[in-house]
Amino acid sequence: MAVKQMQYLIIGASAAGMAAAEAIRKLDSEGSVTVLSDEQDMPYFRPMIPFVISGKKKFSEIMLIGQGPYQGANIDVRLNSRVETVNTADQKVSVKSGEELPYDKLLIATGSVPNIPSDIGGVEAEGVFVLRTIADARAMARRAETAGHAVMLGGGLLNLKAAFALLERGLDVTLIVKSPEILSRLMEPDDTVLIRNALNKAGLKLMTGSSVTRILSDSTGVIGVLLDNGGEIPCQMVCIGKGIRANVEFLDKSGILVDQGVVVDKFTCSNIQNVFAAGDVAVTFDPITGQRIVTGLWTNAAEMGSCAGRNMVGRPSAYSGTFGILNATQVADEPFVSMGIVHTKGTDYETHIAATPKAYRKLVFTPDGTRLIGALFIGDISRAGLYRYIIRERMSVKDIKSDIVNHRLHYGYFLR
């Protein structure tokens, strides 16, 4: 057992940071666990912030500590504590206030920040938002009180969620995407029919193949957007959802290896001893392709954070990686699950598609057809976890292939 009391320091108090803190606390009741956050609010379930915009939940209902696996017992969470530099030689970090904090084990769990494209003018106007924190959500909710029309830039899942929150508040919402389709990271254009119908039904206006060059504003803030074709759309708020990138700037001079995100080994350790990373900020790998990826998933951040916590306590625990795509959600009344490899155009993957008016399913196998590598379910997502398991464990699908293709699989098949 540890001879001296360990000082565990975690930067970032969200999925990865708090999951790590819990994992550490479980294994080491003696050491000190300090979690630094640059936010003003206690940890919360970040994916829930759209509900604060729509008004369906209050902040107190989406707070993290005391819910699910998060006990928060004997974990010191310090708010308003932005880490400015990490000194890996002396094992300490310096916080905005000027305070320096030493560590024995450090976890970087600073997540990601939204991209703001440089080719859009006027983004500093009042009423332009990127949705990442509860503070953003509150500001959006405030603006939505007086706004009548919102324009969303980008057709990713986060922007769709924000769009729905605004629709629920009674705003008119127009979503503008450059690519020919929405959700292009999670499915191919031909896969989106059911989702698009659901969006239409819910009242979302969709403009594909266009982009905004400039946000127009006056003293009241946003008054409209200028399109690349010269057209103008009047609106009172704009929400930018153009992807995210790892939050690593503050590591510039630390010597910690960064390539898109903090590069870690199988045991979530960076190139520098005693420095670990997990969650959106870390580069992980995809077990199907073996490729390095940064994910942007709560599920991955929580799982990787727990794993990092165990490693920090000295219980080597290999991280099994995650699929780049591992999304479940419901848009309007259409549930869907997208996982593994679902983009098949121009590849020789064996692909099975079944489409009915109510459900859509696409199952992707290796070119030789022996292993399942991806699945997309829209409408009927039941037992999706079994398929994830088959993909992740690279199981041979010989005996059960027709049951997979026909979405008849159940756990009983694994008992043979």
Partner 1 sequence: MSQPKEIFVRLDRCVGCHTCKIACSVEHSKSKNLFEAISEQPAPKNRVYVEWVPPDRKVPVLCRHCEDAPCMHACISGAISRTEEGVIITNSDKCIGCWTCVMVCPYGVIGRHLETRKAYRCDRCPDLQVPACVDSCPTQALVYRTVEGFSGDVRQDAAREMISGKGN
Residues engaged in binding partner 1 (CB under 8 A):
19, 45, 47-48, 51, 61-62, 64, 67-70, 298-299, 302-303, 306, 326-330, 335, 337, 339, 381-386, 388-389, 393, 409-416
CB 148, min distance to ligand FAD, A: 23
Residue type, 261: G
CB 353, min distance to ligand FAD, A: 25
Burial class of residue 416 (count of CB atoms within 10 Å of its CB; 0-12, 13-18, 19+): exposed
Which residue of 6, 28, 37, 331 would you call a contact of ligand FAD, by CB under 6 A?
A: 37
Measured distance CA(209)–CA(332) in Å, rounded: 23
Q: 136 is written with which tokens? A: 């953003």
Number of Cβ within a 10 Å radius of residue 368:
8
- CB of 202 closer than 8 Å to CB of 215: no
Q: Binding of ligand FAD at residue 36 (CB under 6 A)?
A: yes
Q: Binding of ligand FAD at residue 334 (CB under 6 A)?
A: no
Q: Binding of ligand FAD at residue 11 (CB under 6 A)?
A: yes
- The listed partner (partner 1, ligand FAD, none) that binds 120, CB under 5 to 8 Å by sort, is none
Q: Largest Cα–Cα distance of the chain, in whole Å? A: 70
Residue type, 259: D
Residue type, 48: M
Return the number of the residue (88 or 322) whose C-beta is nearest partner 1.
Answer: 322
Q: Binding of ligand FAD at residue 132 (CB under 6 A)?
A: yes
Size of the site for ligand FAD (CB under 6 A): 37
Tokens 């915009």: give the residue: 53
143, 336, 153: which is closest to 233 by C-alpha?
A: 153
Number of Cβ within a 10 Å radius of residue 354:
12
Return the number of the residue (222 or 280) whose C-beta is nearest partner 1.
Answer: 280
CB 411, min distance to partner 1, A: 5
Element (H, E) at 78: strand 76-78
Q: Between 153 and 192, how does the x/- string for binding to ligand FAD read (CB under 6 A)?
A: -----x--x-------------------------------
Number of Cβ within a 10 Å radius of residue 175:
23
**Footprint of ligand FAD on this chain (CB under 6 A)?**
11-17, 36-39, 46-47, 49-50, 81-83, 109-112, 131-132, 158, 161, 247, 250, 279-281, 296-299, 301, 329
